[in-house]
Amino acid sequence: MRNFINSFSLFLSRIPRWVLIVPVIFLASSRYFTIIDEKTDGRFRDFNAQPDENEMQVFKIIEELPENSKALILVNYGPESRYELETAMSALIVALAEKNIGIAFATMIPNGIESAFMAVEKSIENGNFGKERFVYGHEYTHLGFIAGGSIASYLFANNFNEVKERDIFNSSTDFHQPLVSEIGGISDFSAIFEFSSQTFDGVPGLVSFGVMLKDRNVKKIAFCSSDMLSAYIPFRGSLYLDGLVGGFKSIAVFIHEFQPSQRIEKLYGILSMILFYIVGLVVLMNLIKLASKDKK
C-alpha cells in the first residue's frame, strides 16, 4: 500500500498545477455553446426534475394572478448571481407581460438597477411581445434604488406613495406613468416578487416585508440564489412568505415550466459537473498532502 501511495504521489507531483484548472475553464466556457434559445416543439425531453410542492404553489400563484393587475419585483442581486437569477426573472416577466400585468421594479442594492434592465431586455428577446408592446411607463417602470435595508422595507410597506413619486430617471410617475399613478399603496399590487442574493440587516428582504404585510392580501414570492437558500428556508410556508424558488435546480424547474424553449437543462448539467469537479479537486489535493506526509 505504501509503495502504491509513493508511486501515486510521484505521478501527481509531475502534473503541473495549472493543468488542474483546465476542466473548470472548459466547463465554464462551454455554457456559451450549449445555452441557446433554440425554439423547440415544446418541452425538452432530457430534463426530468419534477417540481416539488412549494414550486407548484408558486406556479399556481402566478397562474391565478388577475389579468391587468400590478406586480412589484424587487431586484436584490448583482453580477454574482446573474446567471442563476436573470433567466428566471426574464421568464417571470414574460409570464406577467402575457397576462398584461403591469410591473414596477425597485431595488435595495445599487447593482439591482442594471440587473432589472438586463432581465427586461432578455424577456423582450424571448417573449411573444416586442418593445412596441412592452413600453416603459405603461407596461413597466423602475422606481430605482431605495437605500436602508429594513428601513426601505418599512417605506415600501407603509409609505409607498413617497417611494413611487419619481422613477429612476427622476420623472414624476403620477403625471407620466399610468402604470404607477393607479397604485395608491402596496396593497394595490397583486403580488410582490423578490430576486435575492443577500440579506438586509441579517434578514431576507421579503421576510421583512412579510412581517408588515401578513394581514394584507398581497402574495409574496421569493426567488433566491443557492447561497441565500439557507436564510429563506426557515420562512418557507410561513405567514411571511407565500412561495419560494431557491437554488439552481429549483430555478431550472421554474424556467422549464414557463419557458420550455430555454435549454436550461444543459446549464444545470454543466454547473453540476463543475461542482463535482471541485469536490474531486478538493479530495485530490488532500490525497496529495497525505501522500506527501507519508513520503516524509
Domains and CATH numbers, the chain: 2-28+276-295 (no CATH), 49-262 (3.40.50.10160)
Taking only the tens place, the pLDDT of each residue in 157-212 is: 778 888 888 888 888 877 777 788 778 888 889 999 999 998 888 888 888 877 77
- Rounded to the nearest 10 degrees, the angle between the axes of helix 150-158 and helix 205-213 is 40
H helical segments located in the chain? 2-13, 22-29, 31-34, 53-64, 82-97, 112-126, 150-158, 160-163, 173-176, 178-181, 205-213, 229-232, 248-258, 264-295
Is the CB of residue 219 less than 8 Å from the CB of residue 190?
yes
* C-alpha cell, 94: 414574460
Question: What is the reported pTM?
Answer: 0.73
Task: Provide the grid cell at 200.
Answer: 438586509
Cα–Cα distance for residue pair 4/80, rounded to 1 Å: 43
The answer on pLDDT for 34 being more than 50 is no
The per-residue pLDDT for 272 is: 59
**Burial zone of 181 (CB within 10 Å; 0-12 exposed, 13-18 middle, 19+ buried):** middle
Answer with the residue of higher pLDDT: 52 or 146: 146
70 touches 179 (CB < 8 A): yes
**Grid cell at residue 220:** 409574496
Main-chain phi, psi angles of 197, to 5 degrees: -130, 10
> One-letter amino acid identity for 57?
Q
